[in-house]
A and B are shown apart, each in its own frame.
Chain A
């Protein structure tokens, strides 16, 4: 049982390039999330999907787009990467979006933008 799988684990981009971060969960969870974590800081919510077919902005959505491809997969796209988007990106899933359900996290994608 893999839980939450993120690909790739590491990536280096040049400013202006585009990229899609992939996330898949095998726990049949309804809700999925994308966070970013900058050095020495906590996690900030970028986008989330409460259920298949729905997405909504989190705390820091600018410069990102998401797609809830199906119940298992939730991708994050950077259309034109900027150095300020250098960060570690975490995907998470939970049974649903209510706080009574713990979130399960992947191991992260470390993204550097030059």
Chain B
């Protein structure tokens, strides 16, 4: 049973803003929402994390509506180097142990010149 749902792929052009939405209907009250980025032949890298409303860092913004059943990762003015797979991660609230964190299927972002 998938815990998150993301688009499989997205295309964009350099300089555009990219928004990737993740659905997580079963998010638990205490769960945070975390996004990772993965380049080929590398391990995933933490991008941003939030609990509610909006979070911004030097790389991205994360928008979380009041019901927390979805979240949107926003990448401003993407470049070719932002081509990667992006994963949305929330806690597995079906598990008896909150150590079980389930990755979604990821969104492959292709940035074109």
Q: How large is the interface on A (under 10, 10 to 19, 20 to 34, 35 or more residues)?
A: 20 to 34
Contact residues, A77-106 vs B (CB, 8 A): 90, 92, 97-100, 102-106
Residue of B30, B32, B91, B103 touching A42 (CB-CB under 8 A) = B103
Q: Please indicate the chain A residues that have their CB under 8 angstroms from the CB of B31 in the complex.
A: 99
Determine whether B100 belongs to the interface, using a CB cutoff of 8 Å to chain A: yes
Q: Give complex CA distance A58, B44 in Å.
A: 18
Contact (Cβ within 8 A) B43 A92: yes
Q: How large is the interface on B (under 10, 10 to 19, 20 to 34, 35 or more residues)?
A: 20 to 34
Contact (Cβ within 8 A) B42 A107: yes
Q: Please indicate the chain A residues that have their CB under 8 angstroms from the CB of B105 in the complex.
A: 41-42
Contact (Cβ within 8 A) B91 A99: yes
Q: Please indicate the chain A residues that have their CB under 8 angstroms from the CB of B89 in the complex.
A: 99
The closest CB in chain B to the CB of A102 belongs to B46
Determine whether A26 belongs to the interface, using a CB cutoff of 8 Å to chain B: no
Determine whether B101 belongs to the interface, using a CB cutoff of 8 Å to chain A: yes
Q: Give complex CA distance A92, B43 in Å.
A: 9
Contact (Cβ within 8 A) B102 A90: no
Contact residues, A40-98 vs B (CB, 8 A): 41-45, 48-50, 56, 58-59, 90, 92, 97-98
Q: Please indicate the chain A residues that have their CB under 8 angstroms from the CB of B41 in the complex.
A: 107-108
Interface centre among A41, A59, A99, A108 (most CB of B within 10 A): A99
Q: Give complex CA distance A97, B89 in Å.
A: 13
Contact (Cβ within 8 A) B46 A98: no
The closest CB in chain A to the CB of B85 belongs to A42
Task: Report if A100-B102 is in contact (Cβ < 8 Å); known contacts: A42-B87, A105-B45, A106-B43.
Answer: no
